[in-house]
Amino acid sequence: MLQPLNRFLLLQPFWLPTVLFIPLLYALGWIAALPLTLIGLQTDQVSLTGTVLSFVLFIALMPRWVAMRWSAEQPWAALGICRSNRQEQPAPAAALLKGLLIAAGLLTVITSVVLLEGSGNWRGEVDATQLMNAVLLCLGVGFAEELIFRGWLWTELNQLMGSRRAALAQASIFSLVHTRFNLGLGAMSGLLIGLFLLGLVLARQRQSNRGSLWGCIGLHGGLVAGWFLLQSGLLQLSTNAPSWLVGPGGSAPNPLGGAVGLISLLILLLIQRTAVAKAARPATGARNAS
């Protein structure tokens, strides 16, 4: 197993394994889950199982990838999961909490404008099941997607094209992967821009945490879980709520594609510039997400 994997990781040109890695993992996960259709599992459940298996395989292969492609001895430190420098990096719990608070702040701004504009009513209803689902979304989606996009992809692109272009590239890929292309051109454009800005915000969050990924996990997961709770019972949006305010998506809007979401993300990016500059002053030249 190691020999074919080593050959794949050393393929030339150097960018080829980067392009092929995720599609191959997804294909392997889907093939592994396919036999479940024989026991009557529905197509959407098979697809979800395949995705989970692909991510498990991704985690299993990361140490070898980091060692061979990045020449790093501590794979989980290079990916931002473990602390590489206890004196400079915040504790994972502290970074996670900070990310959650930023997410709560963004959602509070969006919700406040929706309520003041009259496009929604506060219900404040949430049950234990919804809370549990929110926690699972926060930790599951936040951890998985940040490990892939800001952990693996950004660092890999940094090896290929340098820090600044890599930050823009990972945000572009993140945006394209998450955008719903069945929307109209205007709505789709707003969502593309909003998700692109979020990708940059998450990258800067990792920079401000000196390479730790936990702030990104809290921010990303907090936005997903928080908006889920708002839509599940805390906030009732009006049927005629304008998409420029609540975001595109019809009955399932994404607020990051609306005007308030876009302006909030831009302001957050400006605020983060100071935090990133402060974090960079005592930096010792670590390569991870710099």
Closest CA to 194 of 110, 277, 288: 110
Q: What are phi and psi of 155, to 5 degrees?
A: -65, -40
| Full DSSP string of 149-208 | IIIIIHHHHHHHH-HHHHHHHHHHHHHHHH--TTS-HHHHHHHHHHHHHHHHHHHHHHHH
Would you state the pLDDT for residue 185?
Answer: 84
Would you state the pLDDT for residue 239?
Answer: 84
Is residue 280 over pLDDT 80? no
Instruction: Read off the pLDDT of residues 81-135 as tens digits, 9 standing for 90 and up.
Output: 998 888 888 999 999 999 999 999 999 999 999 999 998 999 989 999 999 999 9
Closest CA to 24 of 66, 53, 63, 67: 53
* Percentage of the residues of the chain whose pLDDT score is greater than 70: 96
Q: Which helix (H) or strand (E) holds 3?
A: helix 2-9
**SS3 state of residue 8:** helix
Confidence class for position 4, pLDDT limits 50, 70, 90: confident
Is residue 217 over pLDDT 60? yes
Tell me what the mean pLDDT of segment 225-235 comes to: 94
Tell me what the mean pLDDT of segment 170-191 comes to: 89
